[in-house]
Amino acid sequence: MTAAYVALEGGHVLEGRGRAPGTARGELVFTTAYTGYEESLTDPSYEEQVLTFSYPLIGNYGVREERFEDDRVHPRAVLAKELTDDVAEWLASEGVPAVDHLDTRDVVTDIRDGGAMKCGIAVGKDVTEDDALEQLEACKTMSEHTDIGSQVSVEEAVVHGADNDGPDVALVDCGAKGSIVDSLLARDATVHVLPYDATAADVEDVDPDVLFVSNGPGDPANYEQAIDLVQAFVEDTPVAGICLGQQIVAEALGGTTEKMTFGHRGVNQPVLDLESDQVVMTTQNHGYTVAEPGNHLEVTQINVNDETPEGLDGDEYDIITRQYHPEANPGPEDTLDFFDDVLGMVDGQHQPAVPADD
């Protein structure tokens, strides 16, 4: 059996079975999703993290490229109770270390009790605990990855759906999932994918009907260029955002964000719409949240479990953001109408949120 060690912040070292060789380090997080492992593993929001699957068997329906959200695996390493050979071989081909035969119930409990933590991974025939501990020693916090956007964004602008007849969307790519682009294309939009550090001139060249800030990894406060773009265009251009995008919009309008203890990651997060009083189930993957929404924004949806903001709408400007992933993938699909609402802002169909009573 190939040796495998997982060194946790605080000094505890776990031993498991090595399924894909290598060394790695990152923030240790978990997802409660029991399907959609291909989507999770190719989600750019997992950059610089080590992903633990709480569901005990990962890989029971194989690996199909058409389910990928990006062209590579993003977690630095993967932990599970049991990985099938298909998934283990895929991770090995991607150079991503993988460890199974772990009691992931204990790992998840540690994260819930102590929060997301730094960890080091060492997998191979001759590795030792010290190799994992060396990786742990070199590990950074997520906020210390000040230019993480460069690892997940396009390097230059890319246009999708140039022949479509719908609105032009400037999508600021902070680590966008492919299904966000697909959801906009399905509604006849032309999507101009811009780098995470795009300038105001880059956006002006597009002359978009909507400025859309994507999901992505890391601390929203480190995406200064995207924050500047929202500030520059919000008065004249409808603005939308998903996940990190919601946090960036809030930061741009005087709000604040904060690190969560262990975040929301899974496909069964309940969200309450405050206007309709309806609950929808959502896919989520984030470690930061909006603490205060700032100016011109109203909280319209909250997480049922902890009441963190899940939706923000403008009370004066055309703004719609969601903390969860309305495009779902792997599901559920309760909130796909978000994209209709976003494009509806172009036609003046957006109704500003009513400010809450003080």
Do the beta carbons of residue 17 and residue 121 sit within 8 Å?
A: no
Q: Using alpha carbons, select from 177, 52, 191 the residue that is nearest to residue 117.
A: 52
Closest CA to 98 of 27, 2, 216: 2
Contacts of 348 (CB under 8 A, 6+ apart): none
Structure tokens given for 212:
């859309």
Is residue 218 a known part of a binding site? yes
Catalytic residue among 82, 264, 327, 350: 327
DSSP annotation string for 219-249: -GGG-HHHHHHHHHHTTTS-EEEETHHHHHH
Determine whether the annotation assigns residue 214 to a binding site: no
Find out whether 149 and 223 touch, Cβ atoms under 8 Å: yes
Has 327 been annotated as catalytic?
A: yes
60 among the known binding-site residues? Answer: no
Question: Which listed residue (74, 192, 325, 350) is catalytic?
Answer: 325
The pair of three-digit structure tokens given for residue 340, joined into one six-digit string: 């209709």
* Dist. CA 113–CA 72, nearest whole Å: 31
User: 67 — phi, psi (to 5°)?
Assistant: -90, -5
Question: Per the annotation, does 288 bind a ligand?
Answer: yes
Q: What is the rounded distance in angstroms from the CA atom of residue 108 to the CA atom of residue 298? A: 33
CA distance linking residue 159 with residue 96, whole number of Å: 30
Which DSSP string corresponds to 156-174? S-EEE-TT--S-EEEEEES
Q: Which of 9, 243, 296, 350 is catalytic?
A: 243
Contact between 7 and 132 (Cβ < 8 Å): yes
124 is in an annotated binding site: no
- Residue 16 annotated in ligand binding: no
Handedness of CA 102, 139, 38, 330 (dihedral sign): positive
Q: Is 285 annotated as a binding residue?
A: yes
Among all chains, which residue has been given the structure tokens 């682009």?
181
Active-site residues, by number, are 243, 325, 327
Residues belonging to the binding site are 45, 216, 218, 244, 247, 285, 287-288
Residues belonging to the binding site for L-glutamine are 45, 216, 218, 244, 247, 285, 287-288
